[in-house]
């Protein structure tokens, strides 16, 4: 018996010795990694961000973790995030190609494509087209304000009662991006649209759950009927909708008369037909998928976060309402330009974005060459995780780093200011394409809602829970809001 135990321990020791993890020379420090598993057992799957915070306290703002056999470098302060993504943008602009989400999208599109001419051309096209279709202009305001009327009509149905705003905000955000890329919106009661939104919600949760990590370190599970396989099915279903929309556009497309982003892409395909080009149907489908997912989930979850904090901080809500009334007066509709006269409303919205923390780990980067940061060597191809959440809650950067306080964005004169640590859209060459659209949506939708309704926490729901559900994007837990019509406005 004793001999058997000794042999077992010898085997374990031998296994550990043969497969032990050794960090490269002058690589960022981090916790000891186990053979094969790396640091996976040391990360709390329910609250991974708390684990990363504790590691930053122990090892500093630049440290390393092993996800299975692969090392990753975590950047955990606004200073080092900006050094990497802004000052050394090209060196940190790569994307990994081994993650489940990369395999799902085949590394195409504008979000997960690796750094190079193909990505650069498509990002430039997407930015230009979004601007041409009104991002940051009056024409886009009109689309969003039209959508706010649909939102208000739906909210008004629940006046005097409570409602769960989750799907409503998802429908609204998705309809706005659909009007840009597909040229049309859906009715909120459309069963097809509801199913599409549910698939998007489920997919964004699956791409960063524990099964996604196992997918990477245990390839043999990929053919099993597990949640990671469901993610591929959901992607194919959403892509089916996109490809149908592209096929319909091709039948009615008229060269040089674009109605939406798809038509613009078809125009580009025609211009480049006789030349070498990275533009093709599969890239179009992938780019539309990126814009649809990114334009739906992050904005919706930020609107939900703002609603949660506004109804549980009625003094903030009332101060916003008073400022809105002072600026708009008898005018029926708000416009985006009004934000310049509403510093407190702007501060509230930015504070909601800060606490929403919708993409806390950004999208993973990789280094495109051997480089260094804060004195540490980072070899080419190393996965880099910009821990945006660390900057959004960083001590010393905010007056109230852990509480809802619009004063975080106001100076001593009550003017709106934006600290360098505010980076919910990431930073540098890979920052979110839709920042301008999101800012416009949040301002116009929230001002319209606050002017017409008073949002109240339903007392029967007990104590508010501000904790977040981690996934591909982070979201508040489900909640209800009681809706009261403002008598002076209705």
Distance between CA atoms of 216 and 280, rounded to whole angstroms?
29
Q: Which DSSP string do the residues of 98-164 spell out, in sequence order?
A: SSHHHHHHTT-TTTSSPSSHHHHHHHHHHHHHHHHTTTTSHHHHHHHHHHHHHHHHHHHTTBTSEE-
Return the pLDDT at 20: 56
- Write b or e for each residue in 67-96: b if 16 or more Cβ atoms lie within 10 A of its Cβ, otherwise e: bbebbbbbbbbbbbbbbbbeebeebbbbbb
Distance between CA atoms of 141 and 267, rounded to whole angstroms?
25
Structure tokens at 167: 């799907």
Length of the chain: 490
> What separation, in Å, do the N-terminal and C-terminal C-alpha atoms of the chain show?
83
* Assigned domain for 5 exists: no
Q: Could you tell me what percentage of the chain is helix, strand and coil, using 3-state DSSP and rounding each to the nearest 5?
A: 55, 10, 35
Residue 140 makes CB contacts below 8 A (sequence gap 6+) with 133, 134, 437, 440
Q: What are phi and psi of 341, to 5 degrees?
A: -105, 5
Angle at 39 between CA 38 and CA 43, to 5 degrees: 150
Region of 462 please: left (phi>0), alpha (psi -120 to 50) or beta.
left
User: How is residue 23 annotated by DSSP?
Assistant: P
Pick out the chain residues at pLDDT < 70: 1-21, 134-138, 488-490
Return the pLDDT at 10: 43
* Assigned domain for 7 exists: no
Domain membership of residue 285 as a residue range: 25-485
CATH number, domain of 458, equals: 1.10.630.10
* Assigned domain for 307 exists: yes
In the sheet with 481-485, reading across from the earlier edge strand, the strands are: 162-163, 481-485, 453-456
* Assigned domain for 14 exists: no
Return the pLDDT at 225: 79
Q: Is the dihedral of CA 377, 379, 382, 386 positive or negative?
A: positive
Write the burial class of residue 254 (CB in 10 Å: 0-12 exposed, 13-18 middle, 19+ buried): exposed
pTM of the model: 0.91
pLDDT in tens, 415-451: 999 999 999 999 999 998 888 899 999 999 999 999 9
Q: Is the dihedral of CA 309, 313, 314, 320 positive or negative?
A: negative
Q: Evaluate whether 23 touches 71 at the Cβ level (below 8 Å).
A: yes
* Assigned domain for 80 exists: yes
Split into its structural domains, the chain has a count of 1
- Strand (E) or helix (H) holding 475: strand 475-476
* Assigned domain for 286 exists: yes
* Helix, strand or coil, per DSSP, at residue 66: strand
Distance between CA atoms of 450 and 443, rounded to whole angstroms?
11
* Assigned domain for 328 exists: yes
Q: Evaluate whether 279 touches 266 at the Cβ level (below 8 Å).
A: no
343-356 and 281-312 helices cross at what angle (nearest 10)? Answer: 110
């Amino acid at each position: 018996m004793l001999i058997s135990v000794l042999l077992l321990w010898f085997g374990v020791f031998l296994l550990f010795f043969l497969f032990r993890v050794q960090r490269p020379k002058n690589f960022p420090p981090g916790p000891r990694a186990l053979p094969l598993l790396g640091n996976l057992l040391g990360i709390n799957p329910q609250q991974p961000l708390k684990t990363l915070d504790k590691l930053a306290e122990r090892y500093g703002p630049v440290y390393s973790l092993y996800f299975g056999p692969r090392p990753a470098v975590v950047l955990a302060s606004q200073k080092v995030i900006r050094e990497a993504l802004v000052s050394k943008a090209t060196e940190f602009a790569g994307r990994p190609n081994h993650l489940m989400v990369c395999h799902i999208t085949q590394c195409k599109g504008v979000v997960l494509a690796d750094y190079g001419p193909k990505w650069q051309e498509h990002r430039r096209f997407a930015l230009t087209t979004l601007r041409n279709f009104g991002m940051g202009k009056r024409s886009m305001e009109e689309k969003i304000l039209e959508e706010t009327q649909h939102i208000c009509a739906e909210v008004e149905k629940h006046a005097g009662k409570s409602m769960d705003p989750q799907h409503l905000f998802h429908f609204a955000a998705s309809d706005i991006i659909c009007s840009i890329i597909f040229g049309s919106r859906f009715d909120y009661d459309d069963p097809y649209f509801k199913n599409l939104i549910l698939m998007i919600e489920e997919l964004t949760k699956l791409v960063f759950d524990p099964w996604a990590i196992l997918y990477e370190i245990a390839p043999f599970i990929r053919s099993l009927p597990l949640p990671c396989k469901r993610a591929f099915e959901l992607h194919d279903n959403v892509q089916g909708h996109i490809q149908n929309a592209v096929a319909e556009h091709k039948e009615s497309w008229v060269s040089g008369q674009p109605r939406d982003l798809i038509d613009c892409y078809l125009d580009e395909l025609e211009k480049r037909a006789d030349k070498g080009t990275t533009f093709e149907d599969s890239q179009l489908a992938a780019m539309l998928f990126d814009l649809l997912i990114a334009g739906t989930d992050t904005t919706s979850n930020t609107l939900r976060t703002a609603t949660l904090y506004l109804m549980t901080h009625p003094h903030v809500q009332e101060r916003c309402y008073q400022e809105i009334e002072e600026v708009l007066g008898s005018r029926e509709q708000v416009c985006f330009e009004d934000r310049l006269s509403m510093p407190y409303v702007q501060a509230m919205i930015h504070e909601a974005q800060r606490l929403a923390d919708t993409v806390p780990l950004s999208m993973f980067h990789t280094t495109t060459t051997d480089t260094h940061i804060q004195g540490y060597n980072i070899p080419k191809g190393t996965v880099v995780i910009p821990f945006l959440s660390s900057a959004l809650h960083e001590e010393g950067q905010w007056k109230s780093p852990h509480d809802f306080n619009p004063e975080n964005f106001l100076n001593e004169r009550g003017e709106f200011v934006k600290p360098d640590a505010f980076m919910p859209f990431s930073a540098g060459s890979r920052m979110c394409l839709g920042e301008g659209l999101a800012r416009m949506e949040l301002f116009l939708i929230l001002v319209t809602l606050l002017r017409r309704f008073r949002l109240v926490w339903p007392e029967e729901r007990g104590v508010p829970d501000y904790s977040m559900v981690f996934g591909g994007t982070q979201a508040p837990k489900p909640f209800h809001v009681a809706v009261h019509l403002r008598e002076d406005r209705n």
